[in-house]
Amino acid sequence: MDRQQEFVLRTVEERDIRFIRLWFTDVLGILKSVAVAPAELESAFAEGIGFDGSAIEGLTRVYEADMLAKPDPSTFQVLPWRGERHGTARMFCDIQTPDGEPSLADSRYVLKRALSRASDKGFTFYTHPEVEFYLFENPADPDKPLVPVDTAGYFDHVSRGTAHDFRRAAITMLESMGISVEFSHHEAGPGQNEIDLRYADALTTADNIMTFRTVVKEVALEQGVYASFMPKPMADHPGSGMHTHLSLFEGDRNAFHEPGAPMSLSVTGRRFIAGLLHHAAEITAITNQYVNSYKRLWGGAEAPSYISWGHNNRSALVRVPMYKPGKGNSSRVEYRAVDSATNPYLAFAVMLAAGLKGIEEGYELPDGAEDDVWELTDAERRALGIESLPSSLDQAIAIMEKSELVAETLGEHVFDFVLRNKRQEWDGYRAQVTPYELKRYLSVL
C-alpha cells in the first residue's frame, strides 16, 4: 500500500464518504462508472474490481468478459454535487486483464503508452483545451427545434443571464474538484459557452475533460437547463469545437520555445507542427469521431477544413498563438480540428504521435498560410498545396484505415474496434432519409 492509497483511505474515513465511484472511459469516450463501498476500496487498490467488460463498447469480446478496474489513487476527488455529508468520491481507473496486465482496449492506457513513448525520447506532453458547448432550454427534445438559453454572441455579457450563472456555478464546482479553469466566456452561437481548462500534463487533462463533461451536465441539471457537447447541434450556428493547445517539455524547458527564431518557435516546434499537418487527415476519424462532427468541420465560419497553419490565422488548422515575451514556457501550438465530443485520451494520443513523428522524421514545415483559407478558390488552394481534411466520416475512416501511425498509436485492438464501430455508424447514417431530403425532394419529385 503506497502513501497515496493510504491518503485516499484516510480521507474516505475522515470525510465519511459512503460511495466511491470508479470511473473509466470506453473506446468512444463515454464515461462509465462502477460504485463501490469504502470497505471494498482496499482490495480495489490491491487487486482491482472485477466487472463484466463485454457490455462496454470496444472493451472486450463476450468470451473474455472478465476485466479489472484498478483505481488510480492520484485521481481521488470528492464529488461536490453529491453534498458534503455522506459524500461520494471518484477515482479514474486503469483497466486490466485478469492477469493484471493493462488491457489493450483501455483508452487511458493508449494515452499512457503514447506518453511513455514520448518520455523515452525525453518529452512530456502538456495540453490545454478550450471546450465549447451549448445550453438549451429543457427538455431538449430531438423531435422539436432546439431552444438556446439566450441569443447573445461572442464575449457578450448577458446581464443576469442563465449562461453567466451557469458558468459561475460550473467553474466553482470544477475548482472545488481541483480542476483549474483558465478562462470562460460566451461563445459566438446563442446559448454557446466556452470554458478553458488550465494546461496540465495530457493524462491529467484528459481525466479533467471527462470530469468536466460530467460537471457541466450536472450543473445544467441543477439549473434546469440542458448542456450538450454535440459537435454541431444547429445547422445555422457554429459548432462546438475543442481547440487544444499542445506543448512539449524537455525536463522543465519548453521544447517549442527558441528565443530569436521566427515566432520564437524552435526547430522541434516546427517539426511537431509539420507532423500534425502531415498526419492530420489520418487522425481525423479520432479527433472528429461522429457523423455529426463533419457538419461542424465543413460548416464554414472558423472551422478548420483545410490543412494549413498560420500565426494567429483563425482559419488555419494549426495556429501558433502570439508569443508573449518573457513567457518562454508558454510557447505552444493550437490544433483546431478536435471537437468537444472526442475521446480525449485517444485524441491526445494521436495528436502527440503525429507531432512526434514529425520530430523523428524531421519533416519540413511548409510555408504558413497568411490568408483566410476559406476565402481562397479551389485552384488557389491547389496552387498553394493546401489539402483538406476528410469531408465525411466515411472518408475519414477510409484514410485512417491506411494509417500505420494511427494503428501503432491505438494498438491493433482499438484500431480495429474503432474502424468497425465507425463503419457501422456510417452505414446507419447512410440508411436514413432526412427531413431535409423530404423537404427538398418530396414536393418536386
Partner 1 sequence: MRLTRGGFTDSSRALTLLADADLVALLGPLEESSPLRESLLDGLSRTASPDDALLALTRLAATVTATGPALAQTVRTGLANEGLLRTRLLAVLGASSALADHLARHPGDLAALEEPTAVGADSRAVRAELLAAVGADPQASPVATVTGSQGVDALRRAYRRRLLRIAAADLTSEEPLSLLPAVAAALADLAAAALEGALALARSELPDHGEGVRLAVIGMGKCGGRELNYVSDVDVIFVAEPAEGVDESTALTAGARLATVLSRVCSAASTEPALWPVDAALRPEGKNGPLVRTVASHVAYYERWAKTWEFQALLKARTVAGDLEVGREYCDALSPMVWTAVERENFVEDSQAMRRRVEDHVPAAEADRQLKLGVGGLRDVEFTVQLLQLVHGRADESIRSPNTLSAIAALSAGGYVGREHAARMAVCYRLLRALEHRIQLHRMRRTHLMPTADADLRRLARSVGMRSGGAEELGERWRSVRREVRHLHEELFYRPLLPATAQLSREEASLAPEAARARLAAIGYRDPSGAVRHIAALTEGVSRRAAIQRQLLPVLLGWFAEGSDPDAGLLAFRRLSDELGTTHWYLKLLRDSGSAAHHLACVLSTSKYAADALARSPESVAWLADDAELAPRDRARLAAEADAVLTRQDDATGAATLLRALRRREMARTAVAEVLGRRSVTSAAHALTAAAEIVLVGALRIAEYEARHGPEGLLTRTSIIAMGRLGGRELGYGSDADVLFVHDPLPGQDEARAQAQAVGIAARVRALLGAVGPEPTLEVDADLRPEGRNGPLARTLASYREYYQRWSSPWESQALLRARPVAGDEELGQRFVDLVAPRRYPVGGADPGTVREVRRLKARMESERLPRGVDPTRHLKLGRGGVSDVEWTVQLLQLRHGHEIPALRTPSTLEALEAAEDAGLVEPSDAETLREAWVLASRLRDAVVLWTGRTGGAAADVLPHDRRALSGLARLLGHPPGRGAALEEDYLRTARRARAVVDHVFYD
Q: Give the footprint of partner 1 on this chain (CB under 8 A).
A: 2-4, 61-64, 74, 97, 99-101, 104, 116, 119, 122, 250-252, 402, 407-408, 411-413, 416
Beta-strand pair 333-335/181-186: unpaired
Rounded distance between C-alpha atoms, residue 8 and residue 14, angstroms? 10
Q: How far is the CB of 205 from partner 1 (least distance, A)?
A: 15
Rounded distance between C-alpha atoms, residue 393 and residue 183, angstroms? 32
Rounded distance between C-alpha atoms, residue 268 and residue 247, angstroms? 11
Q: How far is the CB of 313 from partner 1 (least distance, A)?
A: 33
Nearer to partner 1, 74 or 330 (CB): 74
Rounded distance between C-alpha atoms, residue 421 and residue 349, angstroms? 19
Q: How far is the CB of 43 from partner 1 (least distance, A)?
A: 14
CA distances from 180 to 6, 72, 87, 209, 360 (A): 25, 20, 22, 11, 33
- The answer to whether 311 and 362 have CB atoms below 8 angstroms apart is no
Nearest to 94 by CA among 119, 118, 73: 73
Q: How far is the CB of 104 from partner 1 (least distance, A)?
A: 7
Nearer to partner 1, 2 or 236 (CB): 2
Beta bridge partners of 68: 50, 96
Nearer to partner 1, 141 or 360 (CB): 360
Q: How far is the CB of 407 from partner 1 (least distance, A)?
A: 7
Rounded distance between C-alpha atoms, residue 390 and residue 409, angstroms? 20
Q: How far is the CB of 2 from partner 1 (least distance, A)?
A: 7
Q: How far is the CB of 58 from partner 1 (least distance, A)?
A: 13
Rounded distance between C-alpha atoms, residue 297 and residue 390, angstroms? 9
Nearer to partner 1, 204 or 223 (CB): 204
**Grid coordinates 475533460 are at which residue?**
209
Gyration radius from the chain CA atoms: 22
Rounded distance between C-alpha atoms, residue 318 and residue 272, angstroms? 11
- Give me the DSSP letters along 168-199: HHHHHHHHHTT--EEEEEE-SSTTEEEEEEPP
Beta bridge partners of 243: 130
Nearer to partner 1, 65 or 384 (CB): 65
Nearer to partner 1, 4 or 172 (CB): 4
Nearer to partner 1, 144 or 402 (CB): 402
Element (H, E) at 227: strand 225-228
Q: How far is the CB of 74 from partner 1 (least distance, A)?
A: 7
Nearer to partner 1, 74 or 176 (CB): 74
